[in-house]
Amino acid sequence: MLKVVTVPDKILREKTTPLKKEEFNSPKLKKIIEEMKETMQAENGIGLSANQVGFNKSFFIAFFNKKFYVFFNPEIVKESRKKIISQEGCLSIPGVIAFLPRSKNIILKAKKIDGQEIEMKLFGLPAIICQHEIDHLNGILITDKAKKIIKAKKEDEISL
């Protein structure tokens, strides 16, 4: 299992480095992904970016629609003008729940582990998870965008 980096660790504020062609599909990358899944599950999370576990690389894992996803070099290519106020926790900021505006729908472009490009239309919670994790990859935390922040009770925490 990997250790989740928490604030004020400076890696959380750095923009991550995109994966290069030769880094895709490597045994090392596959091992990191498996360790990230294990860590995210153990921490009761539904999303985890590479920099949250100390890797300065542009990818994240997420769990939605009863399935694990891994997105490499992700970017939001389109987002709805319609915003919702999302209630989010974060494994890197334990004990905090932030309320912040997010786009209701997004179109995400990323690469799969083999380097093949994909594009997905995401709605609701999957869109929120991806926006949260892409913010991480750009050095942005939920507290930077929050309209309101409250202390979380341990039983209320499901973190991204």
Question: Annotated catalytic sites, by residue?
Answer: 133
Encoded tokens for 23: 């880094």
Encoded tokens for 50: 């590479």
DSSP state of 65: T
Cis? peptide before 8, omega within 30° of 0: yes
Helix (H) or strand (E) holding 124: helix 124-137
Q: Which of 127, 27, 146 is nearest to 80 (CA)?
A: 127
CA distance 24 to 3: 23
